[in-house]
């Protein structure tokens, strides 16, 4: 027997509303960021990334294995942000990423707006 999937119109409407809210939020944030990208803001962002990069490099340069979760939590950024900065440091030749160890995730997308997770 085929699996039957019951879909209620209210659930579909709620899901569509959350998707629309996420899209509008994303578009709004992009527009706000784009409108405020002045040379000063670009420089501040560059300096912030440089400071975070130096903190990461200080830990990397010990030669010990690093924990993405631990370092990101201690710095106050997400693991995704830490990995992005590590990749930028790698691309810039300031560090070499030699290996990664991954484990199963929680099933939650940390980059999603909370409105997409509620329900």
Q: Domain span at residue 78?
A: 9-97
What's the rounded Cα separation, in Å, for the pair 25 and 18?
10
Domain count, the chain: 1
* pLDDT tens-digit map of 61-117: 888 888 999 999 998 888 888 999 999 999 999 999 988 888 888 887 776 656 555
State the pLDDT confidence band at 6, using cuts at 50, 70 and 90: low
Determine, yes or no, domain membership for 106. Answer: no
What's the rounded Cα separation, in Å, for the pair 24 and 115?
12
Q: Please give the DSSP secondary-structure letter assigned to residue 90.
A: H
The answer to whether the CB of 45 falls within 8 A of the CB of 33 is: no
Locate tokens 């199963």: which residue? 104
Which pLDDT score is estimated for 106? 83
Which pLDDT score is estimated for 86? 92
Which pLDDT score is estimated for 3? 52
* pLDDT tens-digit map of 17-41: 888 888 888 888 888 877 777 888 8
Determine, yes or no, domain membership for 111. Answer: no
Determine, yes or no, domain membership for 61. Answer: yes
Which pLDDT score is estimated for 88? 92
pTM: 0.61
What's the rounded Cα separation, in Å, for the pair 90 and 107?
28
Q: Cα–chain-centroid distance for residue 81?
A: 5
Determine, yes or no, domain membership for 24. Answer: yes
Determine, yes or no, domain membership for 102. Answer: no
């Amino acid at each position: 027997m085929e699996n039957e999937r019951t879909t209620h119109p209210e659930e579909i409407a709620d899901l569509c509303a959350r998707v629309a809210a996420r899209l509008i939020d994303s578009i709004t944030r992009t527009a706000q960021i784009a409108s405020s990208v002045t040379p000063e803001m670009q420089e501040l962002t560059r300096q912030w990334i440089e400071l975070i990069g130096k903190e990461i490099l200080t830990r990397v340069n010990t030669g010990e294995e690093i924990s993405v979760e631990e370092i990101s939590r201690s710095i106050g950024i997400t693991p995704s942000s830490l990995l992005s900065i590590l990749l930028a440091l790698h691309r810039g030749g300031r560090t070499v990423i030699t290996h990664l160890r991954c484990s199963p995730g929680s099933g939650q997308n940390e980059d999603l707006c909370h409105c997409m997770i509620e329900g």
